[in-house]
Amino acid sequence: MSFRTRLRYRFGDIDEAGIAYYPKLLHYCHCAFEDWWSDALQHPYPRLLHDDKLGLPAVKLEVEFYAPVRYGDEPWVHVAVLRLGTSSVEFAFWMTRGDDPKPLCRARVLTAAVDMDTMQKRALPEVWRTKFQQHLIREEDFPSGR
């Protein structure tokens, strides 16, 4: 089951070509990741970082851009889990517009669970593994625009 959040694409997030600057699209994926923690998991990401000393930095990204996002768009950003390892999690993100299920772009982001004090890899705590499992999707359910 995936989570989705609606974000407003902003005035200053456009590039000289008049469309979304791609680093900003990745910023919007991170915003959706944060909303997923706050609104789906009910545990804001700052609490995970500061109280639980657990972080999930990206180690690998794969991103495909299918159609431009423009200023004034209010895309849905969808978040799901593709794979769960001992100390790694692969997240899926994709953006859609309105009721159209066809994605505008999608990203898979491999993250490593790290201890925030040492920045060393650690095992993903069982409490999160269980929660993350509820957001697992199968590879064939990760929508592609190709």
Per CB under 8 A, contacts with a second copy among 105-134 are 116, 119
Judge contact between 59 and 121, C-beta under 8 A.
no
Radius of gyration of the chain (CA): 15
Residue 28: CB atoms within 10 A of its CB come to 23
Q: Select the residue interacting with a second copy from 3, 36, 45, 93 (CB under 8 A).
A: 45
* 86 DSSP 8-state letter: S
Per CB under 8 A, contacts with a second copy among 60-79 are 60-65, 68, 71-72
Using the minimum distance from each CB to a second copy, give the nearer residue, 19 or 79.
19
- In this chain, which stretch among 5-13, 81-89, 122-130, 133-141 interacts with a second copy, using CB under 8 A? 5-13
Position 126: which residue type?
E
